Amino acid sequence: MPLYQQFSGSGLIANVEWSLTTNTAGPDFANNGSGVYQIFVNASGMLLGDLYTIKVYERTTNIAGDLALPVFDQSLSGPVVPPVWVTPSLILGNLWDVTMVNSGVPGRNIFWSIRRAS
């Protein structure tokens, strides 16, 4: 099963929830691509005491009034060993987004990719 890198990027993740799909303050719910996804995070820059939270949001339907709620929520406490952290496979499709936020200071430069199996 081939993998396709849907989104990738890097940025200074600080105390503002950051969308990994748009690389802007989020969450943003513009993603409607159905598929099985995994999020890869290079956490090698995290130091002792760093705490990051990764959330995956999705609506249960494509109806405008349906709220996008977290379907996956994971905290990473630095340092992370091994330094590449990966989510389990997630089936997404209804206006979803992946965000990351640092609960302390200073922010760190984080690299990520979101990959879809097809």
The 10s digit of each residue's pLDDT in 4-32 is 778 899 999 999 999 999 999 989 887 88
The predicted structure's pLDDT at residue 33: 87
Which residue did the predictor score with more confidence, 70 or 61? 70
Q: Which domains does the chain have, with CATH numbers?
A: 3-117 (2.60.120.260)
Mean pLDDT, the chain, rounded, equals 90
Would the pTM of this model clear 0.75, i.e. be above it?
yes
Mean pLDDT for 93-105 is 89
For residues 9 and 26, is the Cβ–Cβ distance under 8 A? no
Q: What is the CA radius of gyration of the chain?
A: 14
